A and B are shown apart, each in its own frame.
Chain A
């Protein structure tokens, strides 16, 4: 099922299908290892509801939901 990373709940995994951002956001996401085919695990959401903490490539990354909206994912069964 296609959605964006921002819509995943803590504990859910998604397989990155496309980075829809442009410019610096796109570059930065890729540099940090968020690339097509990668699996991202949403670990938690900050106490105030934003940003979120995810795991990719065996390390932890934090990003705002507005940034995660640009990551199209396929929700994986856990």
Chain B
């Protein structure tokens, strides 16, 4: 991914960052470029959270095969997040249910939380970035 070789940065400040994924992959570029933001933030040693709500849950659906649309799959990048110590991935239960999905349909280990818990989590953040 471009830019993951950003120099280490030590501000001494650790903020709660949240990236809110609410859009499906491929139809628009947002999912991919949010992921690029997430990877960069690993170099800054911040408290990084990823939220998957609404169509965002489709981003990490298992079994994506993009060969036929001429686009690169970025599922491997989600799988690599753990290696960057980005492990706080939250998926909203209601968003999964509305789409007929369960946590078993997802490519990465996530914490499934209900909408009320998601609301509280979002409310506790210092910086919320979305695309």
Partners in one complex: no
Tell me the A residues contacting B by CB distance below 8 Å.
none
